[in-house]
Amino acid sequence: MAADREDIVAFTEKVKGRVVDAHSHIGEMDAWQFYNLKQPVKPTVYEFADAAAYLRHLDGVGVERGLILPNYGIPVQSQPFSLNDLVLDSIAANDRLVGGLWVSFLPQNKEMTLKTLERAGESGVVALKTTFLLGGNPDPSTWDDETRSIAEACFDAVEQHDLVFHFHTSAGGTSDINNFVPLVEEFGKRVKIYLVHFGGGVSGHIKLVPQFLDWVEEGYKVYCDTTWTIGFGARWLFTEIEKRGIGEDRVLFASDEPWSDFWSEYYKIQGAPVSDELKQRILYRNYEDLYGEKK
């Protein structure tokens, strides 16, 4: 299985103007027998094994910089934690990269999470990342005392180091946006919360577009990208931003490579029926405003 994208696709096109990728993944994973398949598979086809492979990808599409996060997807709790060192080494070695470190609210991962938080203040670390696909629930009303203590430690680190907290969202299950509403409303005026995938499906988009802009209007520090948005999702969000005159500073371009596709994510924005000014904000300016000198 080829690891580097340039071994698979010879690019003949580059982006138009400046672009920064605010959410993508680095590191390799074992193949896995998802959904009781007959044999293990690697559905992404390629991965970025290290910083050099990831930077070749950026050069191939004409992107200036990227925010890298541990690659994940297999149901092994330690796997994404094992890539935190790769993220740290990569961002230390190249000023085109910043990174997010993997954490978990699950009590079984407490030791790994607290160890990670010790490094949250290192240069180039701009985010924490977690998912509830591997267990747990973002709704604070479901947390026991130990889960809440771990979550509070994560939020304390985000606040102390002025980080952005990335949360995977997807339609259905514990990652459904309904479960994030109470989390945002408890913590979203204290720290910056980034809702990855903007709900991740039709129901998520319909629920989230009005709610997201209401949160912005009410003073919540919410951000998002439009990876995994279905058809109308990004278009509706962008046009509502222009109609309401709020939220133009809260959406960032991301590719979610290698789990999504750079060009499809890029053209959701470049092809949207909105102003060039809003597109430029999404493609690079909001990233610069959010991460400042840490970019």
| Residue 137 contacts residue 166 (beta carbons within 8 Å) | no
Q: What is the pTM of this model?
A: 0.95
What CA dihedral angle connects 222, 66, 159 and 101, to 10 degrees? 120
Give the domain extent around 236: 5-294
Tell whether the model's pLDDT for residue 1 goes beyond 80: no
pLDDT digits (tens, 9 = 90+) for 195-227: 999 999 999 999 999 999 999 999 999 999 999
> Which CATH number is 161's domain given?
3.20.20.140
Tell me which long-range contacts 262-268 makes (C-beta under 8 A, separation of at least 24): 262/21, 262/57, 262/61, 263/13, 263/61, 265/226, 265/227, 266/15, 266/19, 266/61, 268/226, 268/229, 268/234, 268/235
Tell whether the model's pLDDT for residue 8 goes beyond 80: no
Tell whether the model's pLDDT for residue 6 goes beyond 70: no
Calculate mean pLDDT across residues 288-294: 84
Q: What contacts 260, CB < 8 A, 6 or more positions away?
A: 227, 228
Calculate mean pLDDT across residues 242-270: 97
Calculate mean pLDDT across residues 176-196: 98
* Residue 294 confidence (pLDDT): 56
pLDDT digits (tens, 9 = 90+) for 86-122: 999 999 999 999 999 999 999 999 999 999 999 999 9
| Residue 79 contacts residue 31 (beta carbons within 8 Å) | no
Tell whether the model's pLDDT for residue 84 goes beyond 70: yes
Tell me which long-range contacts 245-250 makes (C-beta under 8 A, separation of at least 24): 246/213, 246/216, 246/217, 247/212, 247/213, 247/216, 248/278, 248/281, 249/281, 249/286, 249/289, 250/212, 250/216, 250/222, 250/223, 250/224, 250/286
What is the total count of domains within the chain? 1
Calculate mean pLDDT across residues 161-182: 96
State the Cα–Cα distance between residues 77 and 106, nearest whole angstrom.
Answer: 9
For 34-64, give the DSSP string.
Answer: GGG-SS-B-TTS----SHHHHHHHHHHHT--
Tell whether the model's pLDDT for residue 10 goes beyond 80: no
The position carrying tokens 């991965």 is 47
State the Cα–Cα distance between residues 61 and 22, nearest whole angstrom.
Answer: 15
Q: Residue 105: count other Cβ atoms within 10 Å of its Cβ.
A: 24
- Average confidence score pLDDT of the chain: 94
Confidence of residue 13 (pLDDT cuts 50, 70, 90): confident
Confidence of residue 12 (pLDDT cuts 50, 70, 90): low
Confidence of residue 172 (pLDDT cuts 50, 70, 90): confident
pLDDT digits (tens, 9 = 90+) for 112-142: 999 999 999 999 999 999 999 999 999 999 9
Calculate mean pLDDT across residues 3-21: 69
Tokens of 204: 């998520």
State the Cα–Cα distance between residues 119 and 124, nearest whole angstrom.
Answer: 11
Tokens of 106: 């699950």
